[in-house]
Structures are given as C-alpha cells and as structure tokens.
Structure 1
Amino acid sequence: MKYTVAVRTLCEFTAKLGDLDLRFTPSATALEGMAGHAMVASRRGEHYENEVWLKGEVGGLVVRGRADGFDPDASRLEEVKTYRGDLHAMPHNRRSLHWAQAKCYGALLCAERGLPRLDVALVYFDVGSQDETMLVESHSADDLRAFLELQCERFLAWAAQESAHRGARDAALAALPFPYATFRAGQRQLAENVYKAAISGRTLLAQAPTGIGKTVGTLYPQLKAMPGQKLDKLYFLAAKTPGRALALDALRTITEASNCTTEGESARPPRSAAPEQGRAPPRGAGCGTPQTGGAPLRVIELVARDKACEHPTKACHGDSCPLAKGFYDRLPAARQAAVGATPEAAPRLDRAGLRAIALAHEVCPYYLAQELVRWADVVVGDYNYYFDLNGMLHGLAHAHDWRVGVLVDEAHNLVPRAREMYSATLSRAALDGVRPRAPVTVAPSLKRLARTWNEILGRQLEPYAVHEELPQGLVTALQNVNSAIGDHAAAHPDDMPPELLAFYFDTLHFTRLAESFGTHSLFDVTIADDAQRDVTLCLRNLVPASFLKPRFLAARTTTLFSATLTPMHFHADLLGLPPDVAWIDVESPFEAAQLRVQVAPLSTRFAHRPASLAPIVELMATQFGQAPGNYLAFFSSFDYLAQVAELFQALHPEVPVWSQARQMTEGARADFLARFHAGGRGIGFAVLGGAFAEAVDLPGERLIGAFIATLGLPQVNPVNEQMKARLETLFGAGHDYTYLFPGLQKVVQAAGRVIRTTTDAGVVFLIDDRFRRAEVRRLLPAWWHVEMA
C-alpha cells in the first residue's frame, strides 16, 4: 500500500526552514479567510475553477491536495493567502513555504492536464483593505515536476519509516493482550462497552466506580479498536495533571505487556476478584509480567506553554530566544530522535523525555511537542487541546482529515471547564489601564468603547444585572477596537505594550463569542464598587452543548468516563452528546461492608457554621480516637476549613493535622499527599472540589476515612440564581442542574478516595442534615449502605 501525503503536510515537512517566529501579527480569522478566498474567486473570469482537487503519484508517494484556484484562460494556478497589515513584514521562511505549496500544486496540475507550462501565483489578499497582491512565476512542467520530486525525495525515507511504523503498530495492537492475568470486577464490562462504542463509531457515557481501573479499562479497548477502525490518533484528555500521569503509566503498562504470552487471551476472564492493578503488575501469571520493548506505540504528552518554556523572560522568535533561532533547521534531527530509528529505540515522549530531546537538539520543547503530534499515535493532554474554541488537536484533525478516537477522563469536569472555555469577560479596570498608553491610532476606538460602556452602566441600577440582549453598540465598539489594534500591530509589531496585547486578546475572544450569543449564555454586568471603577462585562456560557456537539461528531468515537455521571440526562443535555449516545453504569466491585457511611445531622449552611464547629471537631476527634489512622476532612471553603482546623488543633494538639492552602505548587501538593503513608496517623484538611478531592490514589492504610462537612452545593448568589432560572426554562430542572447534581458529584468524588481496592476498608461521615433527604440519597452510589445517626 502506497503512502499518501497531503501537499500541505509534505511542504511543512520539507520546506519549513529558519527561525521559529511567533511575534504577534494579526492574522485573518477562519471566516475572514473563507470570505477572502471567495472574494478573489468572484473577481476572476467565468472559466475560473475554484478549489481544484489534485492527486498524483511521485516516486512511490501518493500526493494529494486542493489548489485554491486555476484560471485556464491565463494558464495560471493560484495559491490564495489572506493576511492583515504589512505584507513586506511577512517572515521569509513563511513566503518560501507558500511558494513550495503553490509549485507542488502546479506540478500535479500539469501532470493531470498535460500542460507544458504554467504560471504559478501567490495571491495575498488583505482582509482589511480588500486589496490583492499577486506574485507570479512562470515554470515549465518539467521544472515543476523536478521541484515536486525533490520534495518527495526528502520525504520518502520518512514516509517509508512511517508506513512501516503504522503497519507494525496496527499488527501489535490487533494482537495486544490485556496486561494483567485477569480483569478486575467491573473492568471487563467497561472495556467491552468501550470497544463496542469504538467499532460502531458511537459516543459512550460510562459511569464506573473509583478503583476498578478505569484508565486501563478504557485505553486498552480503544487501542485494540484502532487497527480495525483505521484510527490515526487516540486523544486521551484529562482535566488535571494527575489524570495525565495515570494515563501515561497505564499506556506504559499496556504496551510493555505486549511481548508476553497470554494463554487463552481471547477467552472471557472470570468475573471473580482480580489481582490489584495500577501499580506493580502481578508476576508470573499470563500477561502479569510486562516485558521490555513492547508495542511500537508513540505516546506524547502535551503540557502548558508556561510549564514547558525554558526561557520565560524571552519572546518566541529567533532574535530573542536561542531555542527559536534556527528551530526549523534543527527540527528534522530532533524529530527523528523523538520517533526513534526503530520502535525499540523510540524514547518516552512525556514532559521529561521531550525536554531532554529538545535541549539536546537546541529546540523549544513546547513547539517540538506540537510538531510531533503529527507523528504520534496517542496524545495525552488537557481538555482544552480538543474542546477549546481554538483547540489544537481538533484543528489538526480537521486540517489533516485524521480519524480519531477520544477518551475523556473524569468527564464530570467537562461541564464546568467547557463553560469557562466558552465564556468571555472584559474588565473596565483593564480598559482604563490601556487607554493612557494607547497609540494615537488606537485611542479613539478605546474612547468610543468607554463611552458605550458608560451608556450600558447608565441603564443599570443594581450591582449585578443580566441584559436580555447583547447591545449592538457594544459589539460595534469592540469590532472597531479590534480593527484599530490589529492595524497598529500589523504596522508596528514591536510596539505592542503587553497590557494592550492582553486586552486585545480579550476583546477578540469576546467578539467571537458574541457572534453566537443565544439562550445558552447570559450577558451580565457586575459593578464591584460604588465608584464604578471595577466593572465587568461577561458573556457567561451556561450550556456549552452547541459548541461541543461538533467536536463529538468530528471524532470517530468518544468515551466519556467518570465515577460520577449520574444522572445521564444532565450530561447529555449540557454537553450536547449525540442522540444515539450509549450509557453504561458499571457495577461496583466493592461490598457495603467495606465502607461505613454515616450521616451526621448537623447543618453546615453558611448561617449555621459557627454553631457547627464544635460538634464537627468532637465527631472527628471521637472517630480518630476509636480508629487512629490517616483521614481526609473536606469543607466547602478555605475559611470554613481554617475555622475547624484551628479549633481542632486547640482542643486536640496531640493529633497531627495538615491543611490545603489556597495556592499550592505541585511540590506543595506532593508534600501534602506524602503525609498519607502506610502506618501514619493524622488528618489532612482540604476543600471539596479541590486538588485532593479527586484523582488521588491512597489505597490501604494510606487513607482509612473521610469527613465531608458540606453537601457540596454551589454558593447561592445572583449568578447561580440566573443560571438556575435559565436552566429551568431550558430543561425544567433549574435547581438540580445548578446546585444539586454538581454538589453531589463533588461529595461522591471525595468519598471515593477512601476505598480504592477490593481489600480496603474505611469510613465516611456525611456531615449535613440534608443527606437524610431521599432525593439526595438517590444520587449516592447504590452499593453504599447509609446509616442515619
């Protein structure tokens, strides 16, 4: 089977040279780009051919792509590029890439239509002025063919390597054994349903208890399905750093086990209790012992730019950062080192592995990772890389026509995270901050925006108000600001104060979301002080379904999994899941006798908190005295946590305690968790819904109990009350969707830290009288036996 490559991919691989240059210059949006291409086509003659699909075979490669246009009357192929600002300021290496693409299309066109000569043109369309600049070169068909052959020659060795890798990868995944002697209870049920969803191209919503090995239980069947479904990539998306770490560990375990023999692997393992997974695999039985080498699977971890940057004080261009200077010249060697000469030689491409390769070849680790996504099989990263408005993984899949599978870890977090992605805020303080230093060409538009802002405030009598309509005057004023700042940035790229650039990004995001404003969002105005110096305009997304739905449809298959996805309709409604979404609630492997769950009928409502302090302290001290060990205590806020911790320490100084701080580094979080060691004794105080309330694995004696002093309900405030009203209108379940369901998800997640294996035992105290209510208890895990005090 011949290797097929797109012209765009081919040229990006062979014709990108020189520096990495990310100095900000405003570029056309996708909509402006499409409009610009359409405008150029409308100006051509009646015989002009728009979007010409081309395909040809060169030196064993199948090269395909879509040329922007062909004018047969002028015998001219056109590659159209939209831009803003000064065309002469465009980096030379970018222009070279454009010429390479145009010439490759020209060679394919000449071969397909038997043309002896062809004019090849770059048409640069300024979306601001609507003017065209056409650069034309005349070439013989032989010259164009020679150019294309040179690019293909440069790519051919890589293509052969990639073709061999894909074949080896698919063969290994088709024969991939499960990495343990048996499945855990419930894990096989999860894996079977993930596999069925993958081979049928469906979306699956999977609720599975904490501790059954969900990461392995979802990754393994998705990997098994990749060859048959011809999937190019698998995206594993996590909400937090610990989720990425678990995925990387699970992938290592799965792939390393591929060399061991599995007697009767295709048979259904027994449903009895299985050896524990997730740490050291069981030795000596079946696939319990991972081998060296393993399946040839390229796994890459994506981390945030601020965490990957080696020179945070330098700008991302060759005149500032040494790792940007000559980036594309050194990229080929770094890329080859990353994928390895042989599957066995391929290094780990997690954060540390990528950094080592990048620094060895003197390239930027962050942008090396982004380049390597094109050649990876599995990508592990944050939700935003796929679901965000500008999600890189979604954009690459669309541009390269990849077939992808998606796994969404701890999927109960996707609703709040997606709301953040599709919300936008503008601060009056930020506007007032940029105005004094604004360039003279920008100042008038900022002044008009301030006047429009004042008009909105003039109609508002309360500190917080929701406006039924998005003021058209505001949208127009923001568009004018965007245009003015964009024009200035294009003309003076080195004269952009950081605060003005940050404000510009905020206005661009706000304006873009304003284009799709509807019932899924609110436009609200918050006045934080009487002097109106701190005023915030917010486009607040409440239902991200309309934004997320296309992302689910773009993937071949998606599985969203978590221990807390009840009720299903809550997530289906808010996330925009497809109508044929499958649902599974995996049976728990744990027994009620393992976990004592007791309701303490105190009130933790805000007004009653002072009175609750002493009873909570007494309850915690009594339990610790009866069964000394490691406990976690969860509270609804840092203030509440501090009050209880202070009183507990005063009354019981003999009991070790440690507390979560408002802002903790990764090192501080690791130190907090390190206190929970086997044989240890003490109580860790944490905030419900925070870093220690989920994705924390403390099996056995490391954690024997939890106190949860809250129902977890979001704060009652004007914003949440507006959300409640809107969700009541849309779904008839305003209170449940706003308060009850999100709150109980946090409670169940926190309680899930206690029982991690089938041999664990512990206790959970639910401290709030509202846990007695039937509608609340229905949302707790079915295997719990809840005792009423």
Structure 2
Amino acid sequence: MSKEFKVSVRNLVEFIMRSGDIDSTFVGGGRALEGTRIHQKIQKNKGENYRAEVSLKYTFNYEDVILSVEGRADGIIEEDGMVIIDEIKSTTRDLEKIEENYNPLHMAQGKCYAYIYGRENNLEKIGVQLTYCNVETKEIKIIPEEFYLEELENFFYDLIDKYYVWIEFQKEWNEKRDLSIKNLDFPFSKYRKGQRELAVSVYKTIREGKNIFLQAPTGVGKTISTIFPTVKAMGEGLAYKIFYLTAKNITSSVALEGINIMSKKGLYLKTLSITSKEKICFKDKATCNGEQCEYAKGHYDRVNEAVLDLLNNESLMDKDIIQKYALKHRVCPFEFSLDVALWSDLVICDYNYVFDPRVYLKRFFDGKKEDYVFLIDEAHNLVDRGRDMFSASLSKEDFLKGKKITKDLDKKLYKKLDKVNSYFIELGKKFEGGENYILEEEPLAITSHLRILVEEMENWLKIKDKSDEYEHILKLYFDCLAFIRISELYDENFIVFCKRDDRSLLLTLFCLDPSKLLRESVKKGRAGVFFSATLSPMNYFMDLLGGDKEDFSFGIPSPFDNNNRKIIIAGNISTRYKNRDNSIGQIVEYIKTFIKSKKGNYLVFFPSYMYMEKVLEKFKESNEEVEILVQNSAMKDEERGAFLEKFVENPEKTMVAFSVLGGMFSEGIDLKGERLSGAVIVGVGLPQICFERDIIMKYFDKNNGRGYDYSYVYPGVNKVLQGAGRVIRTEEDRGAILLIDDRFASRAYQSIFPKEWGDNRVIYNRKDLDSILCDFW
C-alpha cells in the first residue's frame, strides 16, 4: 500500500518558489500581531456571503505515492454565481506601490486554494483576490484575478512536479529507515534493572496518544530508554517526527550519542541538533541581510540544493556538520538548519523551540495537530523555564532613555514614548512605601499604549541607520512586542506587578502557573514524555508541567546496590539564613572529616556564592595540603570544561571543589568511577526568599493549600537531589553523600526523599561521621 505524504500549501509554495536574499532588515514584528486583528476585522465585515478560515485538503495519487496538500483559506466568497478565494495580507507598504506581482508567493497560495476548492466543487472558473491592508492607515487594496480550473491545475502540478524530488527522497528514505527500525534490537546486550519497564511504558504512552511523567535514577539509561521505544513507534507509523527537548547543550550531546549507538547497530535515522543563531553564525554578529552577510545574499537561491546535498550524505547532523555544508553552499547555517528540520526524523533542540510563544517553530506548530512525539529531558527544569517563557517585563528607564534619544529626532515617536513613560509615573504614585506593587487590573491599560508605540517605533526603525541609539530603540521595540504577546495569554494564572529600585520601575507580566500553556503546546503533538532523575514529588511536577488524570506516571527505583552509597545527615547544624554565620566553623569541620576518610575528589554545594565564600575562607586556613577548586558566577564553556578536567581518577592528593547548588555543576555532569568520591550539600536548597516566590506561594496557597511547598520546599529538594545525583553514575561507582542541615532529619523532608534514600543515617557529631565513613570505605 502506498504511503501518504503531507505538505501544507504554504510550505509547498514557499519551499519551491522562494528566491534571493535572507533579509532581516527591520520590517516590524508588530505586523504579525496587528495582522491577525486585521484579518479578523476584514473577515467580520465581509457579510453573509463570506466564509472565513476555510480548511481545504486535496489527497491524490502522484507517481507512486499518495500526496495530501492542505491548508486554510482566509476566506471564500460566493456571490452572483461566482466563487472567489480571498487571501489577506497585512503590509506597511504604500498600497499604490503594490501591483499584481508584488509578491508572487501571495498569489501562488491563493491559486493553490482555488484549485483545491474548484476541483472539489467541479467549477470551471474561479476567482482569486489578494486583499492587502496597510496596518498604519487601515486602507485596503484588492487585486482580483480569474482563472479557469485548467490553468490552476497546470500551475498546481508544476509545483508538485518540482516538489516531487523531495517526496521521492522522503519515500525512499522512509522505506530504508522503517526497515532498519524493524530490524533494530535494543542496542545493549541486556537491559539494566527497570530499563525495560521504562521503555515499555514510553511505547505504550505513544501508542495510546497520551503523556507520561517518568522518574528514573541516574544510571538507568533514560536517554536510550526513551529514544529507543519512540523510534520503534515511528517505524510502526505512530510517530511522524520526534522532538528531543533539552534545557542545556550538554544534554543534547547525550541524545546524539544515544542515536549514534543505535546507528552503529544498523539504525538509519535523520537526526538534527539545532544550535542557536548566535552560536552557529559565521559572523561576529548575526546580521542577516544580503548587504552585510555573504551567506544571507542569495541564500534562497542555493539552500534547497544544500539541503538535498546534506540529506543525501549525512544522517547525524550536529553543529559541525551543519556549518560544513553551509560553508560549502554559502548559505546561512541557522536558517539552513531550520529547513533541514523539515526532513529530519528526530530534532534535538532547546525547550523554547516548542514552548516559547515568541520563538517557537511556526513551520511545525502553527497548523493542525500532527503525530509529533516530544521527549522532554531533565523535565524538572521546565517549571521555571516555563514561567520565564510565559512572562515579560518592561523598564521605565528604557522608555526615558528612548525619549532622550528621539526628542530632537522624531517628535511623533517622542510623544508616544512620553505617553508610556507617563503611565509609569502614575504607576509609581501607587506605591505605599514598599518596593513592590501588585496591579489589580488586567494589563490592558499599558498594552493599548504599547500597540500604538510599536507602530511608531516600526516606522522609525525602518529609516534609521544602525547606531547605539538604534540598538536601544530596537531592543525596546522587541521588549514591547514580547509584553503584548504575553498579555494575550493573560488569565487567572498570571499576575501583573511593579517593582521599584533606586533607578527605575520594572513592570512584569508574571506567569504564576505555566501548566496550562505547557499542556497546550504538548497537545500540538501525539504524546509527551517528561523524564528526569528528580521528578519528586511526582504530583507536584505533574501538576505544574500540565499533566492531568488521563496521563501516566512511572517511577523506577535505583538499580544500584545501596551498599555502594552512603547518605549521612548532619542533624545538629542549622543553615537557615539567620544561623549561617554561626554555622561556618561547624561546616568546615564536617567537610574536613568527610574528605579525610578517603583520598579522592569531592564536590561541596552551597545555597549561595556569599555563603560559599565565607566557608571557603575559613576552610583555607587549615587545609593547605588539599587542592581547592572554586566555581565562579560567570564561567564560560571552556572554563567549565577545564574545571571538570581537574577531576582525574585516583588523584595524587585530595581535591575539594566548592560549587553552588542549582548551578552548572550540580546537574548534567558525569564524573564516573574514581573521578568523584563524594558530595557535601550545605542547606536544603530553598530558593532565595523574594517577592516573586512569595506571590507564587500565595497563589498556590489559595489554589491547593500547598503554597510554601510549591514555591520553596519542592524546588529546593529538587536541587538537593540533583546535586547528590552526581555521586553514583554507574553500577561500579562507590561514594558518600553528606547533607548538612537539621531540616533533612525532619519527617517533612524525609517523606519527600526517594525510597532508596530510606537508609540515610542521621548524626549529631563529627565522631559518628568519621566512624561511619571509615566503615564504609
């Protein structure tokens, strides 16, 4: 049976007909926001003979495949026995300068919709009109044309003929891929304890089209146990494309390694790792237009050939491979990678490419639901990342600076900036002696001013030269645009607040609970697999990551022998903020006792840099024979790598690395075997008490009575579990963990710990610590 291939009208037209340069010369992103409203307004005012947003689909046999071309026409008009397809486009261009061939892609889309509709309804002739609306003047210009169905058929099949080389590639590749998947066995000789159950649960979730939340300890092999069953599901037609989503670059390399292992066992899978524009760009600054970048100039004339060349020769496509082919064909590596994603089976990328409303991949997620599977690694990170992605802020100081820039340059823009600045002045009067103020009203007052300002900034940015002043207005423009976009998501899960400091006022649209928006994003696919070593407590993470009663949850106990790991709690020390200065001497003594029992490498985690520095200063007074490493707050990738390289097996003398809990060394690093002997965790990891955390606490107190736990305790425990998870990475590892804080010994904290931590020992003096560790080692 022939397999069905799908393409949207928009992707078909753009992929085949695009040409020329990439041009990111400022044209205004506000048009997208205003364009939606213009579409809706035009559609609403067209009368009863007008049908808006009409879905169209044409499925047909072509050569040796079944092809489905689908999309949604802006409008269909039926009057006086004539049918007209309406294609609406918003523009800032003077309408007098827009002629019939202003943008051939616009008419091409309309003609495709006209052919599909005309064929379905046996029409001999059908009209297509392009309705252009100027977003500033709101004037409308209509460019009408009429076509015989035969003309449209010739045009449509000419596009399909050119597109067939891609269908042919996809067909042949899919056959090769699916056969390799069918013959693929689990890539290791045996499953680790719990690994098979994990893989089966992932496959079942995809088959049933649901979501699953998985907690599996480090060392189980979560990456391979989620990718393998998902690839198997793809081979059975259950998954159209796989998105492996990460919070950090290091995690993406783990996923690539997993695919590489399966490739060596015979798997054929087009796998792409997307690197951000800033990190993959060949230029010092990503300025994407033909005048300033040779790779942007003529990009669209060469990119399809580049994509085909890459796909015919490579399967694992990371940053280096993408740059190699981008150089060969002189195309922009970032835009090139996004086109490669269209033909990739598995796409590894940051969370924001799926979830962030400002930058998500519209080519995949703006249409109807598809059989995508989302594998969400280190899912515990998505709670705070979700809040960040769904929040936005504006600073009064930025508008004040904008006023100074434009005062003598553009009176009109100056007045619009002054209007927003005046809003902030009125806002400042509402403070009653405090630093923070919660707005009771919705963010409508400010967004109405921002919409007007955005239009004015667009006009100014189009005609001004690049300069420091230009860059400030450009940044302010995008900040305003982001605020407007987030304001459209506003509901009971948001709050608007203002913070005041010595310099300025900061207005923030803050997402208290990201669960609804995360759930809506995952619903654009077939299934979501949320996995981490630390989804504890499970109910908390399911709640905030958008789980519901239909979803699955699954936890795997540690496969490692508990005799290889010792957890000790120092129950006689308080690291609460008020007690920290008094605790320094005791903590130093506990660290000294902990590391003297065995020569090796140790990590010590602190809740803050300040606390770490105070303990470090005291520690240095009497430990000259110990090598000391210290994490700083602004380490670059190469410095991070150099830090980790210091953890050598069987060191000549003991090394102690002072680090921060929740930082770059408390998760996502593998120090196997003798590279790490133990970890000390100082404090329970509570996020710093602050205004934002307090309003989250009040929100959840009102909603479920667990505000303090949701805002402070559970995020803190998660950081502790992550830090402790650095110690045991394989079945051969042995290591000790020392938790310093009396709260760890309480029933409340003990109830949150993983089951395998049930054998922890609570001590109240260093003598007991020394005795336990001597016996252990």
TM-score (norm 2): 0.91
Maintained 8 Å contact 2:129/2:142: yes
Please name the residue that 2:715 is paired with. 742
**1:668-722 superposed Cα distances (whole Å, 9 cap, x missing partner):** 1111111112112411111100011011111110111001111101112333222
Change (3 A) 1:355 1:400: farther
- Aligned partner of 2:333 in structure 1 is 365
SS for the counterpart of 1:69 is strand
Deviation, 1:637, is: 1.1
Letter of the 2:194 partner, please give it: G
Q: Report SS of the residue matched to 1:780.
A: coil
Aligned residue for 1:569?
539
Q: 2:31, 2:135 within 8 Å by CA — same for their partners in 1?
A: no
Amino acid at match of 2:324: A
Corresponding position of 2:382: 414
Select the residue among 594, 604, 608 that pairs with 1:623.
594
* Residue 259 (structure 2) aligned to one of 230, 244, 251: 251
Counterparts of 1:38 and 1:424 in 2: how far apart (Å)? 26
Distance 1:89 1:705 in 2: 71
Distance across 1 between alignment mates of 2:727 and 2:551: 31
Post-superposition Cα deviations, 1:89-112, rounded to whole Å, max 9, x if no partner, equal: 899998122232223333444444
Is 1:53 matched with 2:66?
no
Counterparts of 1:631 and 1:94, CA distance in 2: 66
Secondary structure in 2 matching 1:437: helix
Partner of 1:715: 688
Amino acid at match of 2:296: A
The answer for the alignment partner of 1:481 in structure 2 is 453
Closer/same/farther in 2, CA of residues 620 and 92 from structure 1, 3 Å limit: farther
Q: Measure the CA separation in 2 of the matches of 1:314 and 1:392.
A: 19
Shift of 1:620: 1.9
**Equivalents in 2 of 1:493, 1:109: separation in Å?**
46
Q: Within 5 Å, give how 1:115-264 maps onto structure 2.
A: 115-257=123-265
- CA distance in structure 2 between the aligned counterparts of 1:95 and 1:63, rounded to whole angstroms: 22
Moved more, 80-89 or 634-643: 80-89
In structure 2, what is the equivalent of residue 786 of structure 1? Answer: 760
Contact 1:79 1:102 in 2 (8 A): yes
CA distance, structure 1, for counterparts of residue 366 and residue 490 of structure 2:
24
User: Residue in 2 aligned with 1:635?
Assistant: 606
Q: Give the aligned residue type for 2:411.
A: V
Equivalent residue, structure 2, for 1:598 = 568
Separation in structure 1 between the aligned mates of residue 194 and residue 31 of structure 2, nearest angstrom: 47
- Residue matched to 1:283: none
Tell me the CA shift for residue 481 of structure 1: 1.9
Aligned in 2, Cα 1:373/1:616: closer, same or farther, shift over 3 Å? same
Residue 732 of structure 2, aligned match among 742, 755, 759: 759
Shift of 1:609: 2.2
Aligned partner (choices 666, 669, 676) of residue 696 of structure 1? 669
Q: How many angstroms apart in 1 are the aligned matches of 2:231 and 2:287?
A: 39
Residue of structure 1 equivalent to 2:525: 555
Instruction: Name the SS for the 1:355 alignment partner.
Output: helix
Q: Please, which moves more after superposition, 685-694 or 167-176? A: 167-176
| Cα 1:90–1:369 shift into 2, 3 Å | farther
Which runs of 5 or more structure 2 residues have no equivalent in the other structure? 764-777
Quick one: which of 269, 272, 278 aligns to 1:300? 272
Task: Tell me which residue corresponds to 2:353.
Answer: 385
Within the candidate set 56, 72, 79, 1:66 is matched to: 72
- 1:460 paired residue number: 431
Amino acid at match of 2:762: M
3-state SS of 1:497 partner: helix
Match of 2:566, SS state, is strand
Pairing 1:281-430 to 2, within 5 Å after superposition: 294-313=266-285, 315-340=287-312, 345-393=313-361, 396-399=364-367, 401-430=369-398
* Distance across 2 between alignment mates of 1:492 and 1:467: 36
Q: Displacement of 1:129 after TM fit?
A: 3.2
Equivalent residues of 2:696, 2:711 under 8 A apart: yes
Tell me the equivalent position of 2:494.
Answer: 521
Could you tell me how far apart the structure 2 residues matched to 1:92 and 1:348 are?
44
Distance 1:153 1:493, change over 3 A: farther
Q: Deviation at 1:623? A: 2.5
**Does the 8 A contact of 1:86 with 1:491 survive in 2?**
no
Matched with 2:103 is 95
Q: 1:510 to 1:110 in 2, by over 3 A?
A: closer
Distance 1:93 1:251, change over 3 A: farther
Match of 1:674 among 622, 640, 645: 645
Amino acid at match of 1:158: W
Structure-1 separation of matches of 2:550 and 2:237:
19
Tell me if 1:729 matches 2:732: no
The residue that corresponds to 2:775 in the other structure is none
Q: Deviations over 1:63-97 (max 9, x none)?
A: 44333334454554332223345458899998122
CA deviations 1:33-54 (Å, max 9, x no partner) are 4443344344546544542625
Q: Take 1:408 and 1:753, find their aligned partners in 2: how far apart are those partners?
A: 20
Paired position in structure 1 for 2:416: 445
Distance in 2 between the 1:484 and 1:506 partners?
15
Report the 3-state secondary structure (helix = DSSP H, G, I; strand = E; otherwise coil) of the residue aligned with 1:460.
coil
Alpha-carbon separation, structure 1, partners of 2:565 and 2:446:
56
Structure 1 Cα separation of the partners of residues 363 and 701 of structure 2: 34
1:729-778 CA-to-partner distances (Å, cap 9, x unmatched) read 11100111111111011001100100111121110110111111111112
- Superimposed CA distance per residue, residues 336-395 of structure 1 (whole angstroms, 9 cap, x where no aligned partner): 12211xxxx324211111111111111111111111111111010111111111353465
Which deviates the most, 156-165 or 310-319? 310-319
In the alignment, the residues of structure 1 paired with residue 186 and residue 723 of structure 2 have an alpha-carbon distance, to the nearest angstrom, of 30
Which deviations, in whole Å up to 9, do the C-alpha atoms of 1:621-647 show, x marking residues without a partner? Answer: 223222010111101111222222233
Structure 1 residues 656, 57: CA separation in 2 closer, same or farther (over 3 Å shift)? same
Displacement of 1:137: 4.0
Distance 1:440 1:320 in 2: 31
3-state SS in 1 of match to 2:666:
coil
Distance 1:736-1:56 versus aligned 2 partners, 3 A rule: closer
Distance 1:39 1:466 in 2: 34
1:7 equivalent in structure 2: 9
Letter in 1 for 2:606: F
For the residue of structure 1 that corresponds to 2:405, the secondary structure is coil
Alignment partner, residue 769 of structure 2: none
What residue in structure 2 maps to residue 771 of structure 1?
744
> How far is 1:161 from its partner?
1.2
Change (3 A) 1:673 1:503: same
Which amino acid in 1 is paired with 2:278?
D
Given the superposition, is the C-alpha separation of residues 386 and 745 from structure 1 closer, same or farther in structure 2, using an over 3 Å criterion?
A: same
CA change 1:139–1:575 in 2 (3 A) is: same
TM-score under structure 1 normalisation? 0.90
Give the fraction of aligned pairs with identical amino acids, expressed as a percent.
32
Q: Per the alignment, in what secondary structure is the counterpart of residue 204 of structure 1?
A: strand
- Consecutive unaligned residues of structure 1, counting only runs of 5 or more, are 258-293
Question: Match of 2:236, SS?
Answer: helix
Count of residues paired in the alignment? 746
2:100/2:143 contact within 8 Å kept: no
Check whether the contact 1:49–1:70 (CA below 8 A) recurs between aligned residues: yes
Between the aligned partners of 1:397 and 1:473, the Cα distance in structure 2 is 31
Match in the other structure for 2:772: none
Q: 1:520-543: per-residue Cα shift (whole Å, max 9, x none)?
A: 2232221112xxx32211122221
Q: 1:302–1:351: 8 Å Cα contact kept in structure 2? A: yes
In 2, are the aligned partners of 1:424 and 1:540 still within 8 Å (CA)? Answer: yes
After superposition, the Cα gap between the structure-2 partners of 1:252 and 1:432, relative to the gap in structure 1 and judged at 3 Å, is same
CA RMSD, 1 decimal? 2.5
Q: CA deviation at 1:545?
A: 1.6
- Matched residues in 2 for 1:478 and 1:317: separation? 28
